[in-house]
A and B are shown apart, each in its own frame.
Chain A
């Protein structure tokens, strides 16, 4: 009788080991996918056509600047912004997100004030992030390689604020 229980315990132990190995493998998979997310697509600071020293993300008097020239501030109150088309989202070192729509060459759309944004390849209508106050700016590349702040079209801006 004792040996039967003993044998069972051994079996159970080895099974437990196998289950543990499976759990370890799984958590490794989870961790590696997190690692893939954390290698975020970033963008270098863009040379602006109208360059003001204080921009969103700058610091003044110990405070963070949240908006600047060319930004349209929108009270989102925790709602989401969405990719206006298929494209890629990049993070700059000031913490603003630049969206490059695959079907809008020459343009970049800048979103500041987003909370933990989704970066990389995005589908049209996919949520990028939530924000309390969104700072939106449209940038157009100039022939000298600099980016000019331009007045965004209202329909395009509306598409970034409404889910599909």
Chain B
């Protein structure tokens, strides 16, 4: 009888130890307890069309310094915009956010976004936002 109780106690102890160890271990993970990362989307558009693969290829081949008007006519209406930001002194930027139509992104990472940055009338660059 007492033998049985001790066995259960030992198992409970081991289980407890493992639970505590796992908890400590999990706290080291980057996603533990942190909020889901989000872009500060403004002026969200319902009529915006996700970027096609053809548009993506053209986007990748754009040169820094291309005109904002020509890039916007290629990418069409953005999904949303980010608040104005100055990354360097006296150069306020406009940032457009696009969704991606490609299956690879839709199936495996539907939250993929592309951020496009302009300074003045110039296209500066893009960056993928994958989460």
Contact = CB atoms under 8 A, between A and B. Distances in A.
Contacts of A153: 86-89
A99 to B, nearest CB: 12
A140 B65 contact: no
Contacts, number: 106
Interface residues of B, number: 38
Given A105-B117, A121-B30, A19 B14 contact: yes
Given A103-B95, A143-B65, A11 B129 contact: no
Most chain B beta carbons < 10 A, residue from A12, A126, A140: A140
Interface stretch (A22-30, A38-46, A50-58, A90-98): A22-30
Contacts of B21: 26, 30
A133 interface: no
Interface in A142-164: 142-143, 150-156
B125 A106 contact: yes
B125 to A, nearest CB: 3
B86 A156 contact: yes
A146 to B, nearest CB: 11
A124 interface: yes
Give the residue among B3, B25, B63, B85 with the most A Cβ atoms within 10 A: B85
A150 B88 contact: yes
B3 A105 contact: no
B63 A124 contact: no
Contact of A106 (B6, B34, B124): B124
Nearest to A29: B25
A11 B7 contact: yes
B89 A154 contact: yes
A15 B10 contact: yes
B127 interface: yes
A126 B28 CA distance: 13
A120 B28 CA distance: 14
A153 B30 CA distance: 28
A121 B34 CA distance: 12
Interface centre among B18, B40, B87, B129 (most CB of A within 10 A): B87
6 tightest A-B CB contacts, nearest first: A106-B125, A105-B127, A106-B124, A153-B86, A105-B125, A102-B129
